[in-house]
Amino acid sequence: MSMIEVIQDVTKWLAWVGAGLGVLTILAYLFNWGIKFRLTGTTIFTLLLSASCWAFEQSYTPPFNVEGYKYAPIVYDNGFDLVVAQASNDFPKEAIKPTLLQIAGNLKGGGRNGAQVKVRLRKIESAGDGTSKPIILGELINDLKESKIIELPDRNYSASENFSNDADIEEISLLETDE
C-alpha cells in the first residue's frame, strides 16, 4: 500500500470517527451526561486530525524517479539558481544524465521565485600537494516557471579549461535566455 493510499484511508476513517463522536457529543449535551466536555474535545481533535490528513493528501507529491539514477548528495544549494551534487569517484558515466534529471525533477519552486535553476553534478579529483579540483560531469537547467528541463551540451569540463572563449560565452548566454 502506497503512502498516498494510507493517507486517503486514514482521512476517511478519521472523518467517520469524528462524525460518530459528534453525534455522541450532541447526545451528551441533550441528556446532560457528565462526559460531554471530554467528548467535545475528543470530537474536535479527531476532526482536526482528519482535516490535517486531508490537507496533506492534497499537497503531497511523490518523489520524481528516473530509471538509472545513482545517489549523489546535494552539497550546495544557494536557494535560488544553483544546485550542486557530489558524485563519487567511481560514478558511472551512464548514470550522469538520469541523476541530473532526478535531482532537477525533485526541486521545488518555493523561494526560488520562478528562477532557472542550474543543476550540476561534480566529482573531486586530487590535484596533488593536498589540493583538489572539482570536475563537472554534467549540468542542466530546470526552468521552474515553464516547468521544463533544458539539457546543456556535454562540455567535458576540466580545471585547465579556458572559459574566455567568446563562442562558449555566447552559446551559454543563448541557452540561459532560451524561452
Average pLDDT over residues 116-120: 91
Residues 117/82, Cβ–Cβ less than 8 Å: yes
Do strands 116-128 and 82-86 pair parallel, antiparallel, or not at all (unpaired)? parallel
Separation between Cα atoms, residue 165 and residue 144, nearest integer Å: 29
CA distances from 86 to 67, 79, 129, 135, 140 (A): 19, 17, 22, 10, 15
pLDDT of 156? 61
Task: Please compute the mean of the pLDDT values over residues 163-179 and round it to a whole number.
Answer: 42
Read off the pLDDT of each residue in 4-17 and give the average, rounded to a whole number. Answer: 95
DSSP state for residue 88 in the 8-state scheme = P
CB 77 within 8 A of CB 104: no
Q: Please, what sign has the CA dihedral across residues 31, 36, 42, 47? A: positive
